[in-house]
Amino acid sequence: MKPYVEMTKEELASELELLRKEYRRYQKMDLNLNMARGKPSMEQLDLSMGIMDVLSSEADMFCEDGTDCRNYGVLDGIEECKDLIGDMMENRPDNIIIYGNSSLNVMYDTVSRAMTHGIMGNTPWCKLDKVKFLCPVPGYDRHFAITEYFGIEMIPVPMSPTGPDMDMVEELVSSDEAVKGIWCVPKYSNPQGYSYSDETVRRFARLKPAAKDFRIFWDNAYGIHHLYDLDQDYLIEILAECKRVGNPDMVYKFASTSKITFPGSGISALATSLNNLEDIKKQLSIQTIGHDKVNQLRHVRFFGDIHGMVKHMHKHADILRPKFEAVEEILSRNLDGLGIGEWTSPKGGYFISFDTLPGCAKDVVAAAKKCGVMMTKAGATWPYGRDPQDTNIRIAPSYPPLDDLKTAAELFALCVKLVSARKILADKDAASGGEA
């Protein structure tokens, strides 16, 4: 089939009637499918059930250094867990704090602390006239929600397959003291699945911020979440690169086991410079006596070491890979050549990014919802929920069973065709003065 925009009005009207007939068929199916969030499936969660068995009432609850994990103490995490998560994050244990179950909570706390008490002796952000954050777009809606909550002005920065527009990042960071941070998902980014190139990481490390308290919020949420054993993306390690070029304090690096074990019961971590750690621990020592060491020990006993964690992630990949491939096959089969959509083909992570024709994303999501398929709200991948072109939709293939996912993907492709054909026909009508 030729591109929709090349069809005559008569051809488009005929195509639209066929699409509407097919859409009515889906409406009668009474679907109830959810592709709104990047949640692990039940099958993935089952992979970690053994973690419930490694500690029992008979278990040795002591660490190698004699720490009793049942009791108070150990502010920054038990050594065994710092070793494990350090290997996962590619950072030294001395540069890591182990937190509770949510890295998002750690990011929120980090922004909140900067607002109320400042960073390393600098003026608290709440006392400044203006605070700005750079936001690669499309990006992670929960990142944007944090900065919006604190009243921080968000500046969109375009993403490409190699990472954010670094010319724009360098210009804004170096020229405006109000720019205090940038959100980054550097590996298998949310939602596009892009990984930053070596050049991009090196340029990040060499930034010359106008603000002394500028920080890169480096959310490496998908660091070991590959879909393929051999065809994988790799990142230059940002903390080491920053230290090497004389910017050791510029990065807060976040990670968690949320999509490795149980999202509600995992462990999170922050890796950063020793100077930043000292600054953070002043507040942390007042906020808590220590996080859940029993859960930290549970994770260490379950995985053993990083090799056990990597083997575990191969099992996740075996579940996720067919889902991603199914969605991409269905999109290609239905939409290739029509000129009405583009999508990414990530090698890892949890999302596929889809771009419609301008002005169509909200209508596509709404059409899918009317047929019982929930997707991420159109616009969510932009600050303030405002996608200026109304094009981007985040597809989350992980949660539905494979057969349900295929049905949802077929319906999604149908909705893209339906909304696009309707828009192009309306544009043609408008261009010809509304004549039939």
Dihedral angle, C-alpha 51, 54, 56, 60, nearest 10 °: -140
Kindly indicate the confidence band of residue 95, based on its pLDDT and cuts at 50, 70 and 90.
very high
Mean pLDDT, rounded, of the chain = 97
Domains 4-44+310-430 and 61-304 share a fold: no
Distance from C-alpha of 48 to C-alpha of 269, rounded to nearest angstrom: 19
Q: Which residue has the tokens 């990949």?
A: 317
- Answer yes or no: are the C-beta atoms of 166 and 203 closer than 8 Å: yes
Query: CA 35 → CA 83, 123, 207, 276, distances in Å?
Result: 35, 42, 37, 38
Distance from C-alpha of 38 to C-alpha of 324, rounded to nearest angstrom: 12
Q: What's the pLDDT score for residue 68?
A: 98
Dihedral angle, C-alpha 239, 244, 247, 248, nearest 10 °: 50
- pLDDT higher than threshold 90 for residue 433: no
Residue range 251-270, pLDDT digits in tens: 999 999 999 999 999 999 99
Query: CA 412 → CA 156, 291, 320, 369, 408, distances in Å?
Result: 27, 43, 19, 10, 6
Q: What angle do CA 341, 347, 350 make, to 5 degrees?
A: 75
Kindly indicate the confidence band of residue 434, based on its pLDDT and cuts at 50, 70 and 90.
low
Total Cβ atoms within 10 A of residue 165: 18
Distance from C-alpha of 188 to C-alpha of 419, rounded to nearest angstrom: 29
Burial of 301 (0-12, 13-18, 19+ CB in 10 A): middle
Kindly indicate the confidence band of residue 436, based on its pLDDT and cuts at 50, 70 and 90.
very low
Residue range 226-257, pLDDT digits in tens: 999 999 999 999 999 999 999 999 999 999 99
Q: Which residue has the tokens 């209508």?
A: 363
Share above pLDDT 90 across residues of the chain, in percent, rounded to a whole number: 97
Residue range 98-136, pLDDT digits in tens: 999 999 999 999 999 999 999 999 999 999 999 999 999
Residue range 144-192, pLDDT digits in tens: 999 999 999 999 999 999 999 999 999 999 999 999 999 999 999 999 9
Q: What's the pLDDT score for residue 1?
A: 80
Residue type for 366, please?
A
DSSP 131-180: -EEEEEES--HHHHHHHHHTT-EEEEEEEETTEE-HHHHHHHHHH-TTEE
Query: Does domain 4-44+310-430 bear CATH number 3.90.1150.10?
Result: yes
Q: What is the mean pLDDT of the segment spanning 2-12?
A: 96
Question: Rounded to two decimals, what is the model's pTM?
Answer: 0.96
Pairing of strands 163-164, 153-160: antiparallel
What values do phi and psi take at 363, rounded to 5?
-70, -35
Kindly indicate the confidence band of residue 432, based on its pLDDT and cuts at 50, 70 and 90.
confident
Q: What is the mean pLDDT of the segment spanning 320-339?
A: 98
Kindly indicate the confidence band of residue 37, based on its pLDDT and cuts at 50, 70 and 90.
confident
**Domain range list for the chain:** 4-44+310-430, 61-304
Closest CA to 111 of 36, 25, 183: 183
Q: What is the CATH code for 61-304?
A: 3.40.640.10
Kindly indicate the confidence band of residue 284, based on its pLDDT and cuts at 50, 70 and 90.
very high
